Every structure is written in structure tokens, then in C-alpha cells.
Structure 1
Amino acid sequence: MATTVRDALEASLARIDDPQSDGRVTYTKLYPERARAEADAADARAKSGVKLSPLDGWVISIKDLFDVAGEVTTAGSSILRSQPAAKVDAPTIARLRQAGCVIVGKTNMSEFAFSGIGINPHYGTPGNAADKSRVPGGSSSGAGVSVAEGTARMGLGTDTGGSIRIPAALNGCVGFKPTAGRVPTTGAFPLSYALDSVGPLAETVADCAATDAVLAGEAPWTLTPAPLAGLRLAIPRGRLFGQIEPEVEHAFEAAVKRLTKAGARITEVSIEDLLQELADAMARAPFVAMEAAAVHAEWMEERARDFDPRVLARIRVGAQAVAPDYIRLVNKRTALIARMRDRLADLDALILPTTPIRAPKISELTASDEKFWTANGLMLRNTTVGNIFTFTGISLPCPDVKGLPVGFMMTALGGEDHRLLRMAAAVEALFRG
């Protein structure tokens, strides 16, 4: 067990460089010398009894779409390599540095964060921490693997349709998506201006809560688990439970039984009408695709050959929409959010599988567009609801799962971040106990 921050860092660097590991695919850039200086500074502070924050001395990774002063932000693409270097750190990176974090490197990701799978044709695909032949989940693919394999205590990611919670679920760690707007997205290459959230992947809910406070610019707070007895949890059965793998269904239902025995009040709630209205409103193009088309308008056609073809295909769907389509969708979304808040007002959280399937084989999805699109749709289906309806959400590993990890998602109304983290801490304790 590492006794100093420097020891922890050296262990991480050694594992990343191990020929038996694909650490050089999980990470797209390493900062060994700067990280060693940061680790030594953290150890010196510890000897003096000085602690900058609860995160002081943590060895962490950051997704390759956050600006770091003096280097180009590539966002998992080859197109951005020729862009100017960032002049300053993204505010989130600056806050983590000020908190005393040791940044070991930048992690791989789906190109432009536009996939729930995690395959990247430019920089390689990190193998799932549980089975290297399987996908890591996207778009924060390397972040999930870095935490699950122990090369980072926390991986900083982004979540537009599930990109924190999906890799957390598939790799067996915890992933927290805060309410959009809670953490600044400045200096993080955008996918959707309205839906992007910045948050942590970590081994525990407590580590996610501590990180979230730093990212949000809040004072540290004590994470006291909420009482499980009387907790009002609801299962939104219907389309969000379709095409579910038997192993995922079994793991979820077993987790529900545990919660029921612990005194949680578990009911069912229907949101099918709201989900259908949303689907109808996005028949022309998904919200995220429309906004992505605006982000990439400058090079969408002139650099078409340089895109991951599957990413470009999704962006082009958004480009087919016209301004009235977007305006109508924005207004419809606002109305649906208000109705959803009314529908869930008497509940503490919704619970459901983070993803209805476990991690598929990388080779199967690279070889078949049909299998890729099917898997991508299923990966994103349950999590995207939270982004569209401005929920806060968290994915925890289901207990007693043999083989590939399964994610258990809790999601609550926007603004209930602390409350959700307290509930998740209680559920985590139950699952681990």
C-alpha cells in the first residue's frame, strides 16, 4: 500500500507503462514530471500538517477535452490537432490544482464525446477494466478505466447523454452527473451547450461528493447517508426496461429486493407519456445532434474525411434540422421538464439499470455498423432521460454480480445534488454490506 502521494503516483505510472496493460491507450497524454512535482509538494504539505482540501494529494486523471494551458485540446479527434494551444487551464482544472490534486494525465474518449460506446479510431479504444476485449463505455472511456484499474483515484469526465454514468456502470465504479450548470463547462470542448455536465468517476460516493464540492466551488461538506427506511424510490417501467439482458435484469431486481428489506418504499411510476412526447418532438433530430451540428459547422464538410464516420453521421442528422425545428424543441423541452417535475414531486429518486446491456465485444461493434448503432442506442437510452429533463444522476455498481459489472442508477430532480449523494451513500453502504 502506498505510504506517500509520490508512492501512489509512481505506482500509477508503472501500471500505465506496464506492457501487459493498455495504459497508453487509456491515457492519451501523461504529465510525469509535473505530477511528480505536485506529488512531492503534497507530501511536503502533509508533513507540515497543511491540507488544501479533502482532495489534497489525490492522483487523478482528466478527460481529453479539458483545456490545459500551453497544449492543444484534441477532444479525442485528429481534426483539432492543428488548433491553437489553450492559453489557460479550464476553471475545473484550475480548481482541482488549487485543491492539491496530482494530475497524472489526460484520458482517452469517444471522438468529440459523441458516443456511449467508447471506441476511438484515432487513438485506440481502451479495453474494459473487467475484460479487455470489451468496450469501456463512452464517452468518458479512459476515465472509467483509469478509476476501475486504480491508476487514478478520480477521473474527471463529462456527461451529455450518459458519458459519466455509462463508463462507470460498465467498468464497475461510481459516476456522478451533477445538475447542468452546477459546475462550469468553460474550457471543456462542447458537445451540447444545453446538456453538458462536468463530474467525477471514482470508487466511492464519498469521493464523488468531495470532488463535486471542489468542482462547484463549494465549501467541503459532510456526506451523511440518508436513512434508507421510508426513502421514496420509484421504478419507471416501460420502454426504459425494454431489450434488457437477463443478467442486468436479475442484478437490478436483486438490488431492489435489498432496498425493500432495508425499509425503502419502492413503487412504480409511469413517465411513458412524457417520453413519447419527447420522442415525437425529436423525430426530426435529437437535441444533442442539433447542437453538435452548430459546434462542428466550421469543419463538418471540409474535414469530413478526418471524422470518425459514425460520429459524423450523428452530427449530420442534426444538421438536417432547421432553426424552427430547434426552437420548437427547446420550447417543448421546457414544458416537458415542468411536467416531469410535477410528476415526480412526491418522490425522492427514480431507480433503474444504468444501461440495459453489459459491455459488448469491441470487435463485434467495430465490424458491424448495425451492431454498433443498436448498442449505442441502448447504452444511451436510460441515461439520456436525465440530461434532457435536467436531472442529477449517479451510477453505482450492482451488488453480488459475477462477471461483467452492472450499473444501478439513481436519478433525482435538478438541484437535488446533495440529497441524491446522501441517498446514494446509503444505498452504496447497503450494497457493500
Structure 2
Amino acid sequence: MTTATAMAQALASGETTSAQLVAAAIDHARQPDSAAVMITVTGDRARYQAEACDRRALRGTRRSRLDGVPIVWKDVFDVQGTVTTCGSASHLHDEPAATDSHLVRRVHDGGLVTIGKTNLSEFAFSGLGINLCFGTPGNPVDPELIPGGSSSGSAVAVARGIVPLAVGTDTSGSVRVPAALCGIVGYRASPGRYGPHDFAPLSATLDSVGMFATTVEDLAALDRVLVPGGSGRGQLPPRFVVPAGEWSEDVAVEISEDFDRAVAGLRAAGADVRICHMPSLSNAQKLMDDNGTIVGAEAFRLHRHRLDSTLPIELATRRRLENNTRTSNSIGPVYAAMSVLRAEFAADLGDATLLCPTVRRIPPSAADLRSDPDWYDSANAAVLRTTMVLSYLGSCGITLPAPAVRPGPRTGILLSRPSDDDVALLNCAAWVQRVTTTAI
């Protein structure tokens, strides 16, 4: 797959034009096998933007290193002239957006070209990536398997090479999970890193922007378009903490083998990797197990009116809303402890980076889950269990493809740092990707 960095170099040297890159992306996005990946293809807008990029290149006034590179957006962001569906049939007949979302405008100001908007779990309220209205994007490793969600279309668009960069949102794991299951890199930025959130919310307390690419270098390049400066290598080789307990032990054999192989490679490269108990992590998980999740409570408050509406929603969405009916009353202790636990999480880590498997199970078949509501709901809770508690603790995180020597579904290794440690996280992740890629 061609990376955004490679495209940027080719554009800078005159080997290609943005118009050529964008034409190829539009063609790929409109192929029949991309129908469940893309909800909207903004062909006219993309061609216009690409032509403007090429004129800037001729004048020597490119807006950024990534000027002219194609990008797609999860369909919770407004793109002028398109309906923001949130992956739901209930929004199919809404009015088109009058303006772009704040982040869409900023990325356009950096010269990137919007190809369209991608599919997702309905209302971004599932980690599985299944969508009955727009279709379920096929996992690029095996199209019968779930792609992960909620930012399923964004992950698959990058994994299949439609575009080198995609933007999603990550509340409970909605970028990290599909990136891991699709074998690419997914980054959950610290909440607010890119300014106010004006995408369609799920949980205002925990929502954050996330990005997909095939390399950390590409993610860092896009981050620098939005947050200039902030470079620095940090401590290399880095220190890692692997959390003892369910986060590293309650995992499938295949995932454990992939993770152990990655840890061995990091140690061989000079990293200090220690297995430690993380009290903040354990306490946060118990608190949510006992009282429910902030995401569940806030999603219910936001969408409970849909339980009595005649507008269509998926049965799985209805079940999750109904299951959180009482969470709004029990969630108080989870809110009350959040700031203290976040400070404890930062203290527990110190200058180390948390390291663990991104997901704990191999992805199941989408058809099997659709036929068994109980399995569907338990699989959704399981796939998000690791990333959800880290979101609650405010962490920024990056999942990288685990070095696998076996065929079949991919898994991820997750690096997490306390909120606002994004630069240190990106630098650490770049080092890890170099080491694990060499190990393969």
C-alpha cells in the first residue's frame, strides 16, 4: 500500500499530481467491493480540490507536506453538501450539511483532499463494525469477519488502499479496535488535541478524534499539519509497563503468541519491558463493572428518545440503549473518581508507556453474530474491554500491527500514555514500528 509520506514525496518531486492520485482514489472508492466502505463519495469536490493543489505546487506555495494527499472521514463529521448519516437509516433524509466541520476545514487548509465519508456502526455505538443499513465493510484479511468498529469504513478504506489516511472518532476504542483487526495503525489522540469537537457526539466526556494509516510516520505527518511543532525524540529505547492481570493474561492463545513475540523483539532491541500491577487500571475497571460506563450512560441520555420514535434503528442499537436505562442513575461514582484515577494512572506509569494487546479475542464472523443476539452483545463488550477503560483514564493510544508469522486474522499491540502525552506516544510508536517491522 502506498503511504501518505510516499505520495507527498512523489507530489513534491513532480512524479505525480494530486489530480492523478485523487482520480485513482475515487475510482477505487466507487468499485462495487467498496460499497459498504464508503457512504458518500465527494467526487466533484475532490477533483476541484486536487486541481487547486496542483496549481499551488506549480507556484511553489504548497500548504503543507501533505498538500494534495487524499483522505476520508467517518460519517459523523459534516462535509458541506452531504448528509451526515451517523451510520443510521434514521438520518438518511436529513438536510445536507451547510458547512464543513471544524476539523475538516483545518485539514483542507493543510491541502489534503477529501474523497468522501465512510461507514460506521450506527451512531458510533458499537465496537463490532456491523451496519445493517449501509452494509458491513469486509475485514480485509477475511471479508466474513467483523472489521471492528465503530470507525469500520475508515479502517477498511486505509487497509484496502483506497486512501492512505482516514479520520474517525474513538470513544471506547472505535479507532484502536478496527485498526487492530484490519492490520493497520490507529491513533486515538488526547481529547481536544485538535480543538473543539463539532462532530456528532456519542459521549461528550470521552469522545476523541482518531486517525488511521499504515505507518506511524504518516500519522505524525498529519498530526504536524494540525499541531505544528512539538517534535522531540524522547527516551529511546523506551520503557514499557505490561499490566498484569486480565489485560495481558485473559487473551486468546494466538493473540498471546503475537504479543509475546512483539515483547521479545522490543527487549532484543534494548527496551526495558516490565510486567507490573497497575492499581489505577484495576480500580477503574472494577468501578465500571460495578456501576456501568460513562459511554453507556451518555449514549442513553443522547439517544433514549429513539426508543419511542418511529424512525428506524437497528435492533442491536435498541438493546444497548435499553440495557443502559439504569446506568444514568448508577454512574455517579464513575464520574466522581475519574480525575483522581487519571492522576493515579499517570503516576503509575511515570516515564513508561503502557503496552498490552489491543483486543483479546480473534474477530468472529459477522454473520454468526447477527444470528445470535446474546453473542453479539457479549462480543461487543469483550472487543472494547481493554480500550474502554483506557479511554476512561484519559489516555492517548496507538495500536500497531503485531508481528505475525501465521495466516489469518491480524491482532494489534497497544501503546498508551496519559492524556496530552501525544508527542511522546508518537515518537515511541515510531520506534516500536521500526523494531517490529524489522522483526518480521
TM-score, normalization: structure 2? 0.91
Cα distance in structure 2, aligned partners of 1:172 and 1:281: 29
Which of 228, 235, 251 matches 1:219?
Answer: 228
Q: How many residues align?
A: 424
The alpha carbon displacement at 1:45 in A equals: 1.7
- Please list every run of 5 or more consecutive structure 1 residues that lacks an aligned counterpart in the other structure: none
The alpha carbon displacement at 1:273 in A equals: 6.6
Q: What is the identity, as a one-letter code, of the residue corresponding to 2:314?
A: D
Aligned twin of 2:389: 385
Q: What is the identity, as a one-letter code, of the residue corresponding to 2:178?
A: P
Q: Secondary structure at the match of 2:304?
A: coil
Aligned twin of 2:296: 289
Which of 275, 278, 303 matches 2:282?
Answer: 275
Q: 1:243 to 1:199 in 2, by over 3 A?
A: same
Aligned twin of 1:328: 333
The alpha carbon displacement at 1:15 in A equals: 2.1
TM-score, normalization: structure 1? 0.92
Contact 1:350 1:411 in 2 (8 A): yes
Aligned twin of 1:350: 354
Q: 1:184 to 1:25 in 2, by over 3 A?
A: same
Aligned twin of 2:125: 114
The alpha carbon displacement at 1:277 in A equals: 5.0
Establish whether residue 302 from structure 1 lines up as the match of residue 309 from structure 2. Answer: yes
Aligned twin of 2:18: 5
Q: What is the identity, as a one-letter code, of the residue corresponding to 2:26?
A: L
Q: Secondary structure at the match of 1:62?
A: strand
Cα distance in structure 1, aligned partners of 2:76 and 2:365: 26
Contact 1:165 1:394 in 2 (8 A): yes
Q: What is the identity, as a one-letter code, of the residue corresponding to 2:323?
A: V
Cα distance in structure 2, aligned partners of 1:214 and 1:4: 20
Aligned twin of 2:107: 96
Aligned twin of 1:361: 365
Cα distance in structure 2, aligned partners of 1:358 and 1:37: 42
Q: What is the identity, as a one-letter code, of the residue corresponding to 1:66?
A: F
Deviations for 1:21-74, whole angstroms, at most 9, x for unmatched residues? x21110000011111111122122222222101221111110011012233211
Q: 1:374 to 1:299 in 2, by over 3 A?
A: closer
What aligned pairs does 1:121-270 form with structure 2 within 5 A after superposition?
121-215=132-226, 218-220=227-229, 222=231, 226=234, 228-229=236-237, 231-270=238-277
Q: 1:317 to 1:274 in 2, by over 3 A?
A: same
Cα distance in structure 2, aligned partners of 1:263 and 1:227: 12
Q: Which range is displaced more, 75-84 or 381-390?
A: 75-84
The alpha carbon displacement at 1:417 in A equals: 0.3
Contact 2:241 2:349 in 1 (8 A): no
Deviations for 1:105-136, whole angstroms, at most 9, x for unmatched residues? 10000000011110001110000111111111
Which of 307, 314, 319 matches 2:320?
Answer: 314
The alpha carbon displacement at 1:355 in A equals: 0.7
Aligned twin of 1:430: 435
Q: What is the identity, as a one-letter code, of the residue corresponding to 1:219?
A: P
Cα distance in structure 1, aligned partners of 2:175 and 2:220: 14
Deviations for 1:326-373, whole angstroms, at most 9, x for unmatched residues? 33321122222222222222x420101111123221111111123222
Contact 1:291 1:318 in 2 (8 A): no
Which of 410, 415, 427 matches 2:415?
Answer: 410
Contact 2:138 2:147 in 1 (8 A): yes
Establish whether residue 371 from structure 1 lines up as the match of residue 364 from structure 2. Answer: no
Q: What is the identity, as a one-letter code, of the residue corresponding to 1:42?
A: C
Q: What is the identity, as a one-letter code, of the residue corresponding to 1:290?
A: A
The alpha carbon displacement at 1:295 in A equals: 1.3
Q: Secondary structure at the match of 1:300?
A: helix
Which of 387, 392, 395 matches 2:399?
Answer: 395
Q: Secondary structure at the match of 1:336?
A: helix
Contact 2:145 2:363 in 1 (8 A): yes
- Please list every run of 5 or more consecutive structure 2 residues that lacks an aligned counterpart in the other structure: 3-14
- Identical counterparts, % of pairs: 34
Q: What is the identity, as a one-letter code, of the residue corresponding to 1:268?
A: I
Q: Secondary structure at the match of 2:20?
A: helix
Q: What is the identity, as a one-letter code, of the residue corresponding to 1:391?
A: S
Cα distance in structure 1, aligned partners of 2:167 and 2:364: 24
Contact 2:75 2:118 in 1 (8 A): yes
Cα distance in structure 2, aligned partners of 1:9 and 1:87: 24
Deviations for 1:236-264, whole angstroms, at most 9, x for unmatched residues? 02112344221111111001001001111
Cα distance in structure 1, aligned partners of 2:52 and 2:98: 24
Cα distance in structure 2, aligned partners of 1:73 and 1:110: 13
Cα distance in structure 2, aligned partners of 1:299 and 1:320: 16
Cα distance in structure 1, aligned partners of 2:229 and 2:45: 26
The alpha carbon displacement at 1:232 in A equals: 1.4
Q: 1:288 to 1:197 in 2, by over 3 A?
A: same
Aligned-residue CA RMSD in angstroms?
2.0
Q: Secondary structure at the match of 1:169?
A: helix
Contact 2:29 2:41 in 1 (8 A): no
The alpha carbon displacement at 1:272 in A equals: 5.3
The alpha carbon displacement at 1:227 in A equals: 5.3
Q: What is the identity, as a one-letter code, of the residue corresponding to 1:416?
A: D
Q: What is the identity, as a one-letter code, of the residue corresponding to 1:256?
A: V
Aligned twin of 1:62: 73
The alpha carbon displacement at 1:274 in A equals: 4.3
Q: 1:129 to 1:220 in 2, by over 3 A?
A: farther
The alpha carbon displacement at 1:405 in A equals: 1.5
Cα distance in structure 2, aligned partners of 1:366 and 1:239: 27
Cα distance in structure 2, aligned partners of 1:225 and 1:158: 27
Cα distance in structure 2, aligned partners of 1:316 and 1:364: 23
Q: Which range is displaced more, 359-368 or 154-163?
A: 359-368
Deviations for 1:359-409, whole angstroms, at most 9, x for unmatched residues? 221111111123222321221011112210001100011124432221111
Contact 1:89 1:187 in 2 (8 A): no
